[in-house]
Structure formats: structure tokens, C-alpha cells
Amino acid sequence: MDLSIIIPLYNEEESLIPLVEWIERIVQGRYSYEIILVDDGSTDSSWEKIESIAQGKPQIRAFRFRRNYGKSAALHTGFENSQGDVVITMDADMQDSPDEIPEFYRLIREEGYDIVSGWKKKRFDPLGKTIPSKFFNWFVRHVSGIKLHDFNCGLKSYRGRVVHNIEVYGEMHRYIPLLAKWAGFRKITEKVVKHYPRKYGRSKYGVDRYIKGFLDVMSIMFVGRFGKRPMHLFGTLGVFFFIIGFGMLLYLSLLKVVQQTGGIDERPLFYFGILLLIVGSQTFLTGFLAELLVRSSGGRNKYHIEKRIG
């Protein structure tokens, strides 16, 4: 199959029918394709809309979560179930245009890119969203070394192999290019896309996304660097603290024993030494626990799929 189009959605009843019709106009007769709609626990009539859209059309597949797990979970389910050589993700709110599909497809197929990420150069979102977003993208660009202007664009295309080799969880959908880079896919580029104001419904995210987003970058960088061997970080730090603390206490003990100095327990160094010994051994133990977790993890991405079509 040439192309899988994955659409995560949460309460987007008004746009689903026009969106799918528009996509079909672009892809029909041009590619062998499937459209995968992942209903992230909508509470409106989105699922009924999907059922009616999918009627008699095997190329339309759908998954419904029993509750709202978030966009990352929806994408993960779509990725897992996709069969296309090229996979395109797209928001359901019609802020991204299906007209972009052929070019996103071509860049993967013919130019050999692993990921093409959309760049909403001219954005139709409130300023309260675009300004933090600029700063945010700048930050991620610098810590990750990936030169993209717009990490969070919903419109992206991937070589099929990429989406089967990364695990999107938590709210990691903002950093799929980072996950892909850590997984060894390095041909990443961006393409300017047209962006439209939201026609129906409302945005599912507020500014709290930036705080969570910041924490997520930290954990991605951590997992990328030390995820397989957490002991390398925690063990080193722990031993380092422990040795310094031990050195301080040894010094104080020698003062007391050899020079008969009194009042050792009133010196700041005494407390500092004890603190470092404790923190050091705890950090070291944390490293062990983290190693155990790494070894026994799995089953992290079990989302409860209530219904499915196709």
C-alpha cells in the first residue's frame, strides 16, 4: 500500500465528513491508500460520523478509545496499525489542508526523506499561542540539534519504517522528530504549509502545553542519552557525591582523632558531609531501580480500544 493517512481526533464532529471527502478527492485514483481515524474518546457524535463515513469503504479504518488518552496515544495506535509505505498524519480540525498530501508523499518517496514536517510559517492562531510556540521551538531546536521551525505541526509525513520503530507515549507527539532521530532516522526536513483558522469546535490545548512540553523535552533528552543505561548517569553522580561526602567526614574524623579537635559536630562540613553521603547513596540506588525498570518495561502502551472498524 502506498499511503496511510492517520487522523487523531477528539470531539471534531463537524469537520470529519468534509475532511474525509476532501482527502478522498486528492488521493483517489492516485495512490493505494487507507485513512485511519482514531477517535480519542470523543464525547460528541464523532464516532457516529465515522461509522457513517466508513460504511462500505474498506479503505477507511477507525479505532475508538473508551476514554480520552491524548493525541500521542491516538497517533501511536494509528502508527501501529498502519500499512502504508508512506504515513501522513493530519489534524482533524481542518487547520491543515489535504492539498499538501501529494508533495508530502513525493518528498518521502522520491527525495528519500525519512520525515517531512510541516511548518506553519503563517499561522492563524491567537498570539497567546504563537509567541510561546516560537520560543518553544527555538528551545527544542537547540537542545535537539534538529533544525525544524515548527515541531508541533500536525501535518507530517513519514517513511513507514519510521513509525514502526518509535514509541509515541505521554505527550511526546510534539517530539516525534526527536524520537525518530534517536531511533536512527536522520533525513528530516520541513516544508512550509498553509495553515487555516479553526472552523469548528475549539482547541484542545491551552498554554499548559508549554510546561508539559518543556518537561517532555527534558525526559526525551534523558531517555535518548541514558534511557538504555540509566546507571551511567545516576551511578556516576551517586558515586561522586558519596566520595566527596565520605572525604569530608574522613577529614573531620581525622581532626578529632589525631588532633583531638573538639566541636566537630557543630561544623557545617559535618552536616554537609552527611547530606552528601545520603544523597549519593540514594542517587546510586535510583540508578539501580531505573535499570530494573528499563529491563522489565513493556506494556506501557496498552490503550483500551473499545471498538474498531477495519
Q: How far is the CB of 150 from ligand UDP (least distance, A)?
A: 11
Q: Are 5 and 34 in contact (CB under 8 A)?
A: yes
Query: For binding to Mg ion (CB under 5 A), which residues are involved?
Result: 91, 93, 95
27 binds ligand UDP (CB under 6 A): no
Q: Are 157 and 88 in contact (CB under 8 A)?
A: yes
Q: Are 281 and 287 in contact (CB under 8 A)?
A: no
Q: 70 or 213: whose CB is closer to ligand UDP? A: 70
12 binds ligand UDP (CB under 6 A): yes
Q: How far is the CB of 4 from ligand UDP (least distance, A)?
A: 16
Q: How far is the CB of 93 from Mg ion (least distance, A)?
A: 4
- Hey, what's the cell of 49? 460520523
74 binds ligand UDP (CB under 6 A): yes
96 binds ligand UDP (CB under 6 A): no
Q: 15 or 283: whose CB is closer to Mg ion? A: 15
Exposed, middle or buried by CB within 10 Å (0-12, 13-18, 19+), for 28?
Answer: exposed
91 binds ligand UDP (CB under 6 A): yes
Q: 93 or 100: whose CB is closer to Mg ion? A: 93
196 binds ligand UDP (CB under 6 A): no
34 binds ligand UDP (CB under 6 A): no
8 binds ligand UDP (CB under 6 A): yes
Exposed, middle or buried by CB within 10 Å (0-12, 13-18, 19+), for 244?
Answer: middle
Cα–Cα distance measured from residue 27 to residue 44, given in angstroms and rounded to the nearest whole number: 28
CA atoms within 13 Å, Cβ hemisphere of 102 = 9
Taken in order 9, 170, 198, 193, the sign of the CA dihedral is negative
40 binds ligand UDP (CB under 6 A): yes
Beta bridge partners of 309: 62
Window 230 to 289, contacts with ligand UDP (CB under 6 A): none
Q: Which of 203, 219, 253, 261 binds ligand UDP (CB under 6 A)?
A: 203
Site string for ligand UDP, 149-178 (x = CB under 6 A): -----x------------------------
93 binds ligand UDP (CB under 6 A): yes
98 binds ligand UDP (CB under 6 A): no
Q: How far is the CB of 165 from ligand UDP (least distance, A)?
A: 22
Which of the stretches 141-149, 197-205, 244-252, 277-285 binds ligand UDP when contact is defined by CB under 6 A?
A: 197-205
Q: How far is the CB of 15 from ligand UDP (least distance, A)?
A: 9
71 binds ligand UDP (CB under 6 A): yes
Q: How far is the CB of 8 from Mg ion (least distance, A)?
A: 11
Q: 93 or 190: whose CB is closer to ligand UDP? A: 93
Binding site for ligand UDP (CB under 6 A): 8-10, 12, 40, 68, 70-71, 74, 91-93, 95, 154, 203-205
